């Protein structure tokens, strides 16, 4: 059972790293090619925020999943609420600490939020399917 959780964590971290790099480079490329006037200095913080949160997310998921599988849905829902609260806090702090217009960061952040939300949801729907096939037979 522990091997299953370690493999799940490893696959998630690899996919998260690739997704973060691709979206960061793609986002930077869009700003550089299409609209350089909208680039903001805090842009690298946005993908970094989602990467760090993704790492925390998978370790929480692994910890609680290896102890009590029946509570995974609550871990999933709780982590989504925590992500929303931390995102609001991130945007508030960015708005207070930076003198740039917040709208640029806000729009970029929302696009990344949606992208990572789709990624996490798709990953864990597949995880649930594999888990049910493997351990509930």
Print burial letters for 42-53: b (CB count within 10 Å at least 16), e (below 16): bbeebbebbbeb
Q: Which residues contact 131 (CB under 8 A, 6 or more apart)?
A: 4, 69
pLDDT reading at 87 higher than 90: yes
- pLDDT tens-digit profile of 3-39? 888 888 899 999 999 999 999 999 899 888 888 888 8
87 against 98, higher pLDDT: 87
Q: Is the dihedral of CA 87, 93, 96, 102 positive or negative?
A: negative
Q: What's the whole-model pTM score?
A: 0.87
Identify how many contiguous H helices and E strands the chain contains and give both numbers.
4, 0
pLDDT of residue 6: 86
Structure token digits, residue 25? 């480079």
How does residue 114 score in pLDDT terms, banded at 50, 70 and 90?
very high
**Phi and psi dihedrals of 39, rounded to 5?**
-65, 140
């Amino acid at each position: 059972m522990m091997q299953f959780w370690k493999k799940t964590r490893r696959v998630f971290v690899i996919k998260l790293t690739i997704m973060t790099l691709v979206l960061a480079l793609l986002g930077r490329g869009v700003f550089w090619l299409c609209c350089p006037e909208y680039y903001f200095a805090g842009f690298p913080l946005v993908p970094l925020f989602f990467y760090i949160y993704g790492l925390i997310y998978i370790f929480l998921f692994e910890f609680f999943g290896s102890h009590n599988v029946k509570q995974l849905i609550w871990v999933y829902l709780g982590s989504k609420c925590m992500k929303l609260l931390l995102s609001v806090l991130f945007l508030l702090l960015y708005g207070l600490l930076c003198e740039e217009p917040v709208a640029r960061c806000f729009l970029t952040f929302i696009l990344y939020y949606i992208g990572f939300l789709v990624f996490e949801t798709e990953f864990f729907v597949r995880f649930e399917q594999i888990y049910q096939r493997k351990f509930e037979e």
